[in-house]
Homo-oligomer: A and B are copies of this chain.
Amino acid sequence: MPRPPGHGPDFEVRRQKIIDTAAELFARQGYAATSVNDLGRAVGLAKGALYYYIGSKENLLIEIQSRVMSPLLSRARQIAALEADPLLRLRLLSESLLTIIFHRLDHIWVYEHDYRSLSGDELATLLGQRSDFEHLITGLLTEAAGQSSLRVPEPRLATLQFLNLHNHTYQWVKPGGRWDPQYLAREYCATLFRGFGGTEADLGEAEERAAAFKRDRPELSLDPEVAWVPAPVAG
């Protein structure tokens, strides 16, 4: 879906705002139940003008998915590649994941609910990226089993518990509510690390180092405003 070659300076700004609104609507009503007319009404544009920006309805879905997956995966790879204690890296990953969930809750709803509405190719790409993300976690859990007190006899099952605990959060979380991503990350990791047999000492150490890390390497904490905007993938 190639867009016309020349566009005014406002084009991309406006386009991003339309995708924002689409994410809100899709999150609230579902992708299939939201019409392009609904979106037009919400952004104050006739349908014809909308298509000037969006290309197609499915394209919106692709962009939204990519706005989630793209920064998540790149940040996850950065963290996984750090030379640091695997528990620390899991803890950092937990907070990154929750940060994204908090700051783009509507995108996450769409990401979790409507990915099956993608067409074959796009779906395959997305599932591949999801699988990559999961394998990063599996790798860290396996590493942790070797270097700490954690017991991970079934890395796949441990990974799935990690993902269950984090990913389902979008269903009830209220940004600005009682808990923030940092707090939840600490709690979730505490549950999981203890739950997988980790000692209180290992747990405390990971938490301390995470605090230190965020102090010393702030660029590795996900700044969602920066992370989202360029969304360079797909389309």
Contacts and interface: CB of A to CB of B under 8 A. Distances in A.
Interface in A15-31: 28-31
Interface in A157-202: 157, 160-161, 163-169, 171-172, 179, 187-188, 190-197
- Secondary structure dominating the interface of A: helix
A81 interface: no
Contact of A165 (B114, B165, B172, B193): B165
Interface in A127-175: 157, 160-161, 163-169, 171-172
A185 to B, nearest CB: 13
10 contacts: A6-B46, A28-B116, A30-B116, A32-B33, A113-B113, A161-B165, A163-B168, A163-B172, A164-B167, A195-B195
Interface of A: 6, 28-33, 46, 113-114, 116-117, 157, 160-161, 163-169, 171-172, 179, 187-188, 190-197
